[in-house]
Amino acid sequence: MEDRINSFPPFIDKDSKILILGSVPGVKSLEMQQYYAHPQNHFWKIMFHLLAEPVTSDYEEKLAMLQRSGIAVWDTIESCVRKGSKDTDIKNEEANDIAKLLKEFPNIKAVFCNGQKAFKNLSKQFKNKEVGINFYGLPSTSPLHTVGLEKNLRNGNRFFIICKFWSFICEFKPFKPYRCAKSIRFLEFLLLVFSIFKIKY
């Protein structure tokens, strides 16, 4: 019998306004028991810059940063069989009940899916259901999808979604920066994304 892997409990509280969903933790994340633990995953790097927070390797401080900004994280898959960390190798998956979570935490205003697999899973779960909330697909921050992310960032729709994500972040931060500071930080964020994935601009 193949061993099943399980996702982590959701990181969320009553003040969370944004939910970011992945597919299921990778090998390194399971080993460390931390969300996005692989050092080459760009999730935390982008969050630090997007939220204008100091970089830290301390996991509890990373979670505290998300909490201050009203950001929750979870995965669409509760358990599955998978060799390695590739989403394409996932088999026999069981879904997390995202709709139930949203009912329990009604302050969530938008859901962003980290990667195509998470977006497909959520779309399937919400099919023919009135959930009363918008959800968006973002390019994966996984190091296994760097090329795909560069390609997606060139797409106008993906670019719009990233802008949308940034706008939600700014709206729900406890201490809103001045409008000009928002614009500067946004431009800096885009330049960071461009530099990470070597996109010409």
List, by residue number, the catalytic residues: 41
**CA pair distance 176, 6, nearest whole angstrom:** 37
Residues of the chain by 3-state class (helix, strand, coil), percent to 5: 45, 15, 40
**CA pair distance 148, 161, nearest whole angstrom:** 16
User: How far from each other are the two terminal CA atoms of the chain, in whole angstroms?
Assistant: 50
Q: Which amino acid is at 65?
A: M
**CA pair distance 82, 88, nearest whole angstrom:** 9
Sheet with 91-95, side-by-side order of all strands: 5-6, 77-81, 91-95
Alpha carbons within 13 angstroms on the beta-carbon side of residue 48 total 14
**CA pair distance 14, 110, nearest whole angstrom:** 14
